[in-house]
Structure 1
Amino acid sequence: MPARNHKKNPNPINQQPLADFKVGVDNVIFSVDTAQNRLLVLLVMRQQEPFLNSWSLPGTLVRQGESLEDAAYRIMAEKIKVNNLYLEQLYTFGGPNRDPREKTDSYGVRYLSVSYFALVRFEEAELIADKVAGIAWYPVKQIPQLAFDHHEIITYGHRRLKNKLEYSPVAFEVLPDTFTLNDLYQLYTTVLGENFSDYSNFRARLLKLGFLSDTGIKISRGAGRPASLYKFDAEAFAPFKDKPLVFI
């Protein structure tokens, strides 16, 4: 059998020069609008190239002496005012050619995006319009064409958010200190969909687990029966930490 002629790669990866990077932070800021049962994501209109006048995630390049988390909080503070939020590092997106500037930069700089995802309540979130021509909440199911790979980042963040809600107390980071069980249920149905659990089973399961404390206070909303206000007990939740399917 004749020997196969294997063509050698003229530029194997271990002979390529080391890459130079610029690091950016992009925030996937989710908002839960329980009144209309919508999960929203915050988008801004880009004011410069590349992708001038295109919708994108709020982002920035990291400054000298600035940590990644500080950059993420800086972007949050420039775009939104909110008292209760949850923020977590999501993933690093750094594939070649994810940013058009890589092709025009004479120094061959690569652009990394360290993404964060945040969760806030729609009722509490106040958008900051100063110096921002375009900023808006978009339903996750109706996202327009986005700059860069930001649609992929949102998809990744949405999947992480769903997973977090199943096993972690992330919901209590954005709820007020006291809340009704219906407030909690509405947050879950908005993110996970109404089919994840019916209210009766959800209520019975959480009360049985014992990390919700009844404050003894009841509130009236509309014509229905007064509802009890609860508080989240972090110490009582400790045995369930990181165990799957706690909430569903």
Structure 2
Amino acid sequence: MADFKVGVDNVIFSVDTVQNRLLVLLVMRQQEPFLNHWSLPGTLVRPGESLEDAAYRIMAEKIKVNNLYLEQLYTFGGPNRDPREAIDSYGVRYLSVSYFALVRFEEAELIADRMTGIAWYPVKQVPQLAFDHNEILAYGHRRLRNKLEYSPVAFEVLPEMFTLNDLYQLYATVLGDNFSDYSNFRARLLKLGFFMRYRN
């Protein structure tokens, strides 16, 4: 019977509204396996630590931000997702409970202490990542797009005062080519109840 080690990996998204790019935070691994490979920020869960606390700890170690949205994404536990499983004679399995976060790009300050590599990458230009992190990122990207369809999650990364065009640009950046035209956008938001229609 296998023992399990549980890690938490965060898919931290942000939207560069100036250049209309959806970004994800990547870190360079400082140890084997996958030494000097880009990966999602992650950690093993400490004894007595909850999964959510571990996810927030990753955030606090990598980025300073006042406003963020964080939710649990999925548990990845396929066999051989971690090469350490093949060399461990005791049958240890490594599970990853992933979270996805959305932060405001303009206020997010990356923490470079003890890190030789930490960077925002455009989602469309992400290289091959360590472990199964490309799969985790793709899953997180789908979740983010789906959340925009029915929830006001976008408001988490916009300033307190914003225009309808600001919101439209954010939706268009995240949803890409599948996004509806501007005229349908306002009606769609009203239907979802994100805005109220005012009459003079």
For residues 91-114 of structure 1, the C-alpha deviation after alignment (integer angstroms, 9 at most, x for no partner) is 000011110111112321100000
Q: Does the aligned pair in 2 maintain the 1:84–1:175 contact within 8 Å?
A: no
Question: What value does the CA root-mean-square deviation take over the aligned residues?
Answer: 1.5
Deviation of the 1:195 alpha carbon:
5.0
156, 171, 175: which is aligned to 2:158? Answer: 175
Q: Percent identity?
A: 91
Secondary structure of the residue that 1:96 maps to in structure 2?
Answer: coil
**How far apart are the structure 1 equivalents of 2:108 and 2:27?**
15
The CA distance in 2 between the partners of 1:209 and 1:111, in whole Å, is 40
Give unpaired runs (5+ residues) of structure 2.
Answer: 194-200
TM-score under structure 1 length normalisation: 0.74
Match of 2:196 in 1: none
Go from structure 1 to structure 2 and tell me whether the alpha carbon gap of 1:194 and 1:123 turns closer, same or farther (over 3 Å shift): farther
Normalising by structure 2, we get a TM-score of 0.91
Number of residue pairs the alignment of both structures matches: 193
Task: Provide Cα deviations, 1:25-61, integer angstroms capped at 9, x if missing partner.
Answer: 0000011111111111110000000000010000000
How much does 1:87 deviate?
Answer: 0.6
Structure number with the higher helix fraction is 2
Compared with structure 1, are the counterparts of its residues 94 and 128 closer, same or farther at alpha carbon in structure 2 (3 Å cutoff)? same
Q: Could you say which structure has the larger radius of gyration?
A: 1
CA–CA distance in 2 between the matches of 1:191 and 1:103?
A: 38
Mapped partners of 1:90, 1:97: distance in 2: 20
Structure 2 CA distance, aligned partners of 1:33 and 1:176? 13
How far residue 78 of structure 1 moved from its aligned partner, in angstroms, is 0.6
1:204 is displaced (CA, Å) by: 4.0
Does structure 1 conserve the Cα–Cα contact (< 8 Å) formed by 2:105 and 2:157?
no
Greater RCO between the two (CA within 8 Å, min separation 6)? Answer: 2
Unaligned runs of 5+ in 1: 1-17, 211-248
Cα distance change on mapping 1:72 and 1:209 into 2, 3 Å? closer
Partner Cα distance (1:61, 1:157) in 2: 20
